[in-house]
């Protein structure tokens, strides 16, 4: 949802501090739909990249008619409570809606429901353990092969496009955690400084360095990347297959018209 622009960073701010950042590109977050509406009423919504709502049992109908077209990111804080996703479906009539899901045991159930309801999905991934990697593989398989998936699942989607187009990309940017482009403002109003210089010698020798940039070495530089490399290879292979299928199709079309 965020496009990098280092010269003009995006500020990720709590709703209560929004007034400090009027006129700047912002992401505005809150656990209260009403607070989001009240703080943004009368503001220049063109500078709002998206609003972020932490999963809540509060009525979200106030957002349905507010700022049509502004993307809404709903953070499902407890993926085990994925049934909550049904209560946000009306927002789809007026907003692009993405569900951000943490990697806790069973998170794939939340992903499956989210995509069945036609939400976009962002996986909040850091350094997945063995069980989480197994679930990630199952979700990746779903993303690549289930024909009914109509919305992106990040970080898979952007990496697949990167491999298909043979264009480098940064996983820090995809996950919206690059502090050069997204400045996170804490609840106390101060900007949180994060040093993401986490690359190791292993990173410099890695075939996926031009896309990972040490992302999976943060915060523990001793993290074993073998599992995530397997995910990267699966995406790279899938991109190659798509490219070959397209080339074969074009070749068949050319022969048919010759």
Residue 13 has what DSSP assignment? E
Task: Please check whether residue 15 is in contact with residue 39, taking contact to mean a CB–CB distance below 8 angstroms.
Answer: yes
- Prior bond to 219 cis, omega within 30? yes
The sign one gets for the Cα dihedral 163, 166, 171, 174 is negative
pTM: 0.91
Q: Alpha carbon 77 to chain centroid distance?
A: 15
What phi and psi values does residue 185 have, to the nearest 5 degrees? -100, 120
pLDDT digits (tens, 9 = 90+) for 215-257: 999 999 999 999 999 999 999 999 999 988 787 777 777 777 7
Task: Please check whether residue 110 is in contact with residue 101, taking contact to mean a CB–CB distance below 8 angstroms.
Answer: yes
Task: Please check whether residue 25 is in contact with residue 47, taking contact to mean a CB–CB distance below 8 angstroms.
Answer: yes
Give the residue from 210, 211, 216 showing the smallest Cα distance to 198: 216
Show me where the domains of the chain are located. 10-125+175-193
What phi and psi values does residue 48 have, to the nearest 5 degrees? -90, 110
pLDDT digits (tens, 9 = 90+) for 48-96: 999 999 988 899 999 999 999 999 999 998 999 999 999 999 999 999 9
Annotate 126-150 with b (16+ C-beta within 10 A) or e (fewer): ebbeeebbebbeebbebbbeeeebe
pLDDT at 252: 73
d(CA 30, CA 204): 39
Task: Please check whether residue 99 is in contact with residue 125, taking contact to mean a CB–CB distance below 8 angstroms.
Answer: no
Annotate 208-229 with b (16+ C-beta within 10 A) or e (fewer): beebbbbbbbbeeeebebebbe
pLDDT digits (tens, 9 = 90+) for 100-121: 999 999 999 999 999 999 999 9
- The confidence band for 148, taking pLDDT boundaries of 50, 70 and 90, is confident
25: its two tokens = 């590109």
């Amino acid at each position: 949802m965020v496009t990098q622009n280092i010269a003009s960073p995006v500020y990720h701010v709590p709703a209560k501090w929004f007034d400090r950042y009027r006129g700047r590109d912002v992401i505005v977050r809150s656990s209260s739909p009403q607070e989001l509406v009240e703080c943004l009423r009368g503001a220049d919504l063109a500078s709002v990249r998206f609003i972020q709502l932490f999963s809540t049992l509060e009525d979200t109908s106030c957002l349905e008619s507010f700022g049509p077209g502004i993307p809404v990111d709903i953070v499902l804080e407890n993926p085990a409570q994925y049934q909550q996703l049904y209560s946000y479906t009306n927002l789809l009539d007026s907003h692009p809606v993405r569900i951000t899901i943490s990697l806790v045991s069973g998170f794939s159930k939340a992903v499956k429901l989210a995509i069945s309801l036609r939400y976009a999905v962002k996986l909040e991934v850091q350094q997945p353990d063995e069980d989480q990697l197994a679930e990630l593989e199952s979700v990746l398989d779903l993303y690549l092969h289930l024909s009914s998936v109509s919305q992106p699942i990040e970080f898979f989607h952007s990496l697949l496009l990167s491999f298909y187009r043979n264009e480098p990309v940064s996983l820090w940017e995809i996950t919206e955690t690059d502090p050069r482009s997204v400045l996170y403002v804490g609840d106390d109003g101060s900007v949180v400084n994060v040093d993401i210089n986490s690359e190791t010698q292993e990173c410099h020798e890695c075939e996926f360095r031009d896309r990972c940039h040490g992302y999976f070495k943060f915060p523990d530089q001793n993290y074993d990347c073998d599992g995530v490399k397997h995910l990267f290879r699966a995406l790279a292979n899938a991109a190659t297959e798509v490219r070959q299928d397209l080339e074969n199709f074009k070749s068949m079309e050319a022969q048919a018209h010759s």
